[in-house]
Amino acid sequence: MSGSPSGRRHTRDDVSEVALRLLDEYGLPDLTMRHIAAALEVRASALYWHFPNKQALLAAVSARILRPMEDVRVEEMSVSETVRRLGARLRECLLAYRDAAELVSSSLALGLVDSPVRPQLMTVTRRDGVPDSLSRVAAEAVMHFVVGYTFHEQQRLTADSFGLLAADASSLNPENATARPSDGGDFEEALKMIADGLQVSVRQHTETSTG
Amino acid sequence: MSGSPSGRRHTRDDVSEVALRLLDEYGLPDLTMRHIAAALEVRASALYWHFPNKQALLAAVSARILRPMEDVRVEEMSVSETVRRLGARLRECLLAYRDAAELVSSSLALGLVDSPVRPQLMTVTRRDGVPDSLSRVAAEAVMHFVVGYTFHEQQRLTADSFGLLAADASSLNPENATARPSDGGDFEEALKMIADGLQVSVRQHTETSTG
DNA sequence: ACCTGAACACCGTTCAAGT
DNA sequence: ACCTGAACACCGTTCAAGT
């Protein structure tokens, strides 16, 4: 089936690409070194030539998931719009692959991947004269909120797909139909709150420096 | 040493209490069913009489970690103060035990523990006539930000305690001393942003309803 | 009601040795 | 440079059986 004879060698990029495919297909609990190796037609121990340990491999997968963040063109945006667009794009990146939010959450916490929000937000805030300290804080708030929110959301999605609450939850309490739309409206409302909060901080900062 | 003869039986509460002690002492990776059982002088299989699986046991430990949230008395606070106090208290709860933020993060995402922010925030927002939809969104923003931020923070703390970057990081780049104070000032600034954002949303809401 | 014993089907990681 | 083979020291979970 595959184009190359069985004796092929692999690169770090091959490994993380195949790992991402497996993540999406079988989920994080089944993303084991042995399974990744098997998909590459190799033994698990071979992976340790490319990566020092599993966490490093998973960090490479996380970086792959976050790659589309770089395509967001923020040059013409206001600060508030940038916050909302980067947050929305981050959520899209995480929803694009099964269990991606959980994986990225841990890579970020371990400090093995860079902030997917900070650099682009900073170009805009610097352009507008917003102090770096404020934009760094806002970038953290956006990142942690989006990753946590989407982690929870993604968990509910796969729980629903296993039919774990389809029947009784909606019959016992009809409110649930409206109580858990989770169509992204709440998400965008929260992003707007953080963006508005940043604006307030900026105003307060310029007031104290001027007056 | 212990007061009772060796034939003692256990309850769910005993189990989660001992598990929390082990978490704090040895960390999440070593919090295995076998280690918990050993600390209770019992076999791992015995734990499955008390809990259906490990995630359920960990959820009980998470609930224990979050218990001090109930002691926050919000009755006399403004909405903004409530957001900041609940956020700060949540961070304290998570920093009180090793790896607690990581553990609680996953229990929350799996939906196995209730929001540690929502109920108390809602009593205050309802008192002030803030619509439930806004306060629910704010509660989510606060919760996800605090858990994510503290997860990252706690990971750095234990990394530092293992001396993983003490030497070269500060010598190569002296800015790092100021770049990572992480003394909580950034944290409180971010909480204030979310609180301010909520205030803005409330004002916008009442304007549209009135005018 | 609460636990043991033993097994099942796995893990991540190391390392000498191969090509 | 890249991988195999084999081992080490573990996992979570199930279930018949004990008391």
- For residue range B25-70, list pLDDT tens digits in order: 999 999 999 999 999 999 999 999 999 999 999 999 999 999 999 9
* Å: A35 CA to C13 C1': 15
Give the per-residue pLDDT at A163: 64
Domain boundaries, chain A: 2-51, 71-210
Give the per-residue pLDDT at B162: 77
Residue B136 CA to residue B125 CA, distance in Å, equals: 10
Is the CATH number of domain A71-210 3.40.50.300? no
Place of tokens 């100021």: B178
Size of chain A, expressed as the number of residues it contains = 211
pLDDT of residue A146 exceeding 80 = yes
Q: What is the 3-state secondary structure of chain B?
A: CCCCCCCCCCCHHHHHHHHHHHHHHHCHHHCCHHHHHHHCCCCHHHHHHHCCCHHHHHHHHHHHHHHHHHHCCCCCCCHHHHHHHHHHHHHHHHHCCCCHHHHHHHHHHCCCCCCCCHHHHHHHHHHCCCCHHHHHHHHHHHHHHHHHHHHHHHHHHHHHHCCCCCCHHHHHCCCHHHHCCCCCHHHHHHHHHHHHHHHHHHHHHHHHHHC
| Cβ–Cβ gap A200/B197 under 8 Å | yes
| Cβ–Cβ gap B148/A149 under 8 Å | no
* Rg of chain A over all Cα atoms, to the nearest angstrom: 21
Chain B residue with minimal CA distance to A195?
B197
| Cβ–Cβ gap A144/B143 under 8 Å | no
* Whether B34 CB is under 7 Å from strand D: yes
Region B131-140: mean pLDDT is 98
Give CA separation, B204 vs A114, B198, B201, B210, in Å: 35, 10, 5, 10
* Rg of chain B over all Cα atoms, to the nearest angstrom: 21
Interface test with B, best of A90, A108, A196, A203 (most B CBs within 10 A): A196
Tokens of B175: 């800015």
- Residues near A170 by beta carbon (within 8 Å), at least 6 away in sequence: A176, A177
pLDDT of residue A148 exceeding 70 = yes
Region B114-133: mean pLDDT is 98
pLDDT of residue B177 exceeding 80 = no
Tokens of A199: 């604006």
Structure-model confidence comparison of residues A96 and A164, the more confident one: A96
* Whether A43 CB is under 7 Å from strand D: yes
Place of tokens 């698990």: A44
CA A154 to chain CA mean position, Å: 11
Give CA separation, B198 vs A179, B83, B120, B142, B151, in Å: 20, 9, 16, 11, 24
Residues of B in contact with A148 (CB under 8 A): 105, 108-109, 143-145, 147-148
Quote the pTM value.
0.91
* Å: A27 CA to D6 C1': 29
* Whether A46 CB is under 7 Å from strand D: yes
* Å: B176 CA to D15 C1': 56
Region A46-60: mean pLDDT is 98
Domain A2-51, CATH number (from 3.40.980.10, 1.10.1740.10, 1.10.287.3510, 1.10.10.60): 1.10.10.60
Instruction: Find the nucleotide nearest B57 (Cα to C1′).
Output: D12
* Whether B14 CB is under 7 Å from strand C: no
Chain B residues 51 to 110 with C-beta below 7 Å from nucleic strand C: none
| Cβ–Cβ gap A201/B190 under 8 Å | no
